[in-house]
Structure 1
């Protein structure tokens, strides 16, 4: 298994999480590799929805699939279907741990992810699953909550792309900044404001953060490709190599 150092030395492609007392990145990566041995699949369940609105139609959520037994490490929180992309029958699942204030995550979302979507997701070979890892502070957490609020209007991935595209537009973390982005995407801003204030979304973000810390994920962006750890916004060829190796077993 490959676990590259996501630090910034020598043109690094990832942000490392400062966690005094947790040891070196090598130790953290080793813990991660042990913990994900039984996490090849991603547990999915519908994210709790707000109370029905008379002015909005509702659609039934997909049924949840059972979680695989976890023999080491923390139990993974469910991933809302809106935070997944691709066929649930895809042979490879890539879990993405990211922070919307991380420039290396932005580079991945801008450069590698669109190619992976075209080549693998849209052809049924890969499923993406997002997990929030907002280690850069409160504004990062607010952005993560805002993206989950957008997910309730089926705009999670578009909202995330907008956050990455112009981080200076929301660095103060005010609600109106996030609402402005929602308006630019054509979302119902009244509903968006209500959903941003839903404590269940904040709790879901915190659960993802705790899960990542429990695994010892050393920085962002970080990936699990069918359970194998992979760090940093690496060249597209590196992703292709690992995805195709996982695809062939």
Structure 2
């Protein structure tokens, strides 16, 4: 019995070390993003740079820490792609984030066709509620749709109707409308799940974990040993994922 307790203690220590290391890495990524953004802003005379965010695809992290981020759980409603794909693309997203919406409208279809359907990349979503109580309720609603196998369909419905730059208003009745658009089968169950405290606790935990890792803006992505921030142009994501896949095959 004592040996088992010792093993559990050692495992907990290793998990804690990995989480602290990953937090340091992501904080460094965030600081580098901020530094690069300030530099570009000082030189830019065109549109608001926030519209395209900023990227840092050269932040290295060991493969075991990349594995710490990915779930690779069978029948995960918040994931698409082969369970054993060479690379997992982890995305942190807020359903009231206009740039998250832009990514899902403009770039996600390309990633699905060129990488996910080819068995090269698996996408796993981590939801956060950075923009208030409605963000949290919307994440709960997406998870409720996920219970009926319609998580990504629900994201599509929300993001297709999102404004270009502002945070959308997402009251409860609107969340139910999105469920109808996503063809969620049992709307009565969906509506009941909107009040499920366990789903809300999962969203709150996901948000807390993101903050502990140093993820302070969305959308934010990690693939293999690289990170990327913002709704970048499709060609940036293509290069980002090709590099991650190449590294994963080495």
Structure 1 residue 232 and structure 2 residue 230: aligned?
A: yes
Shift of 1:227: 4.0
Q: How many residues align?
A: 203
Aligned to 1:76: none
Distance 1:227 1:207, change over 3 A: farther
SS at match of 1:190: helix
Distance in 2 between the 1:231 and 1:179 partners? 30
TM-score, normalised to structure 2's length?
Answer: 0.71
Residues 121-178 of structure 1: per-residue CA shift (max 9 Å, x gap) = 011000000001220111111111101101011111111111112237x944432221
What is the 5 A alignment of 1:1-249?
Answer: 4-5=33-34, 9=41, 10=44, 11-13=49-51, 38-40=65-67, 42-45=70-73, 62=74, 81-167=76-162, 171-187=168-184, 188-249=186-247
Computing the radius of gyration over CA atoms, which structure comes out larger, 1 or 2? 2
Structure with a larger share of its residues in helix: 2
Question: Unpaired segments of 5 or more residues in structure 1?
Answer: 17-25, 27-31, 46-61, 63-79
Aligned to 2:5: none
Shift of 1:185: 2.6
Residues 175-217 of structure 1: per-residue CA shift (max 9 Å, x gap) = 2221122123322210101211111111111111011100111
When structure 1 is superposed on structure 2, of 81-90 and 173-182 the one drifting more is 173-182
When structure 1 is superposed on structure 2, of 108-117 and 233-242 the one drifting more is 233-242
Question: Unpaired segments of 5 or more residues in structure 2?
Answer: 1-24
Query: Does the 8 Å CA contact 1:14/1:220 hold for their aligned counterparts?
Result: no
Distance in 1 between the 2:127 and 2:66 partners? 17
Distance in 2 between the 1:7 and 1:218 partners? 14
Query: Does the 8 Å CA contact 1:141/1:205 hold for their aligned counterparts?
Result: yes
Distance in 1 between the 2:136 and 2:219 partners? 16
Distance in 2 between the 1:88 and 1:191 partners? 28
TM-score, normalised to structure 1's length?
Answer: 0.72
Q: CA RMSD in A?
A: 3.1
Distance in 2 between the 1:173 and 1:35 partners? 39
Distance in 1 between the 2:150 and 2:228 partners? 27
Distance in 2 between the 1:227 and 1:116 partners? 18
Query: Does the 8 Å CA contact 1:40/1:227 hold for their aligned counterparts?
Result: no
